[in-house]
Structure formats: C-alpha cells, structure tokens
Structure 1
C-alpha cells in the first residue's frame, strides 16, 4: 500500500483537511486504495465515534476526488 502511485496525491489532499479533524480530536489514515480506485480510510481518535463522521466522510470524498480524479469512491471504517 505504501508504494501505491496515488498515495502521495491522496495524502496531500487529506493533509489539507487534517487540521480540522485534529482540532476536534480526530484524524484519518489511509487503509487501502483498491484496484478499482476506492479509497478506504480508517478513522482515528474522536472521529471513530463522532456522529458527524458520515458528513465528514462526504467532505473528504469530495476533496480527494477533486484532487485525485482516479479515486472513484471513499469508504470509511
């Protein structure tokens, strides 16, 4: 996974949003990028139990897909 060609661009897109997640006591980690282009994220910290996580995932998906059009969807665990 760490050698995936899209990972640097995905991480750069997520880095733009991480300060907001960290402010609320959470973060997100890339778990996998599937061959179909699905970005699988793992919630960390407070994000794991946050009732707003579906909306946050939608925001992450929008940002990542704009920066990395090869990503077809974002799933969060």
Structure 2
C-alpha cells in the first residue's frame, strides 16, 4: 500500500511545490490511516488544514481505497511563511 500512497502523493506534489510547499509520508497505520507532514511554505500556513483535506486527502482516498483517513503530524515549532498559498 505504501507504493500506492506515494504515487498518489506524487500527483498532488506539483501543486504544493508551486506554492513553495511539499508533503512527506510519515507512516501508514494498520487501520489504514495515512500520516503526512506538510513542509516548506505549507508548514504553519493558515490554509494548511484546507490543503490537507481538499488536496492531499482527496487525492489519496481516490487513488488508494484501502486508506480510511489522512492526518497531518506537526513538528514542535511550526514556522510562519509569508509566501504560502499565493494562488489561493
């Protein structure tokens, strides 16, 4: 399943990278929950929750039916970005 999830993330990465962000696969639980970390401009961005749900989760759930949810994991100290989501 990991390969399928990585392939799905590759489909969303160009959109995230266009705005200076990215997504990293952290783990897939036995229950089918995918845990990801938003990085770059997406890390700490006020729109990151929307990006996760309407971008990353939507693509992963469509491409990998075995996945039941996508969750973001946070680092201890989020960084603010002045250039996140300029096209939003």
TM over 0.5: yes
2:30 to 31, 35, 60: 35
Secondary structure of the 1:47 match is coil
Greater gyration radius: 2
Unpaired segments ≥5 residues, structure 2: 74-88
Q: Is 2:6 aligned against 1:11?
A: yes
Match of 1:3 in 2: none
Q: How many residues of Structure 1 are paired with residues of Structure 2 in the alignment?
A: 72
Q: Where is the helix percentage greater, Structure 1 or Structure 2?
A: 1
After TM superposition, give the deviation of residue 44 of structure 1 in Å: 1.0
TM-score normalized by structure 2?
A: 0.78
In the TM superposition, 1:1-77 aligns within 5 A as 6-58=1-53, 59-77=55-73
Secondary structure of the 2:12 match is helix
Q: Which runs of 4+ in 1 moved over 2 A?
A: none
- CA RMSD after TM alignment: 0.8
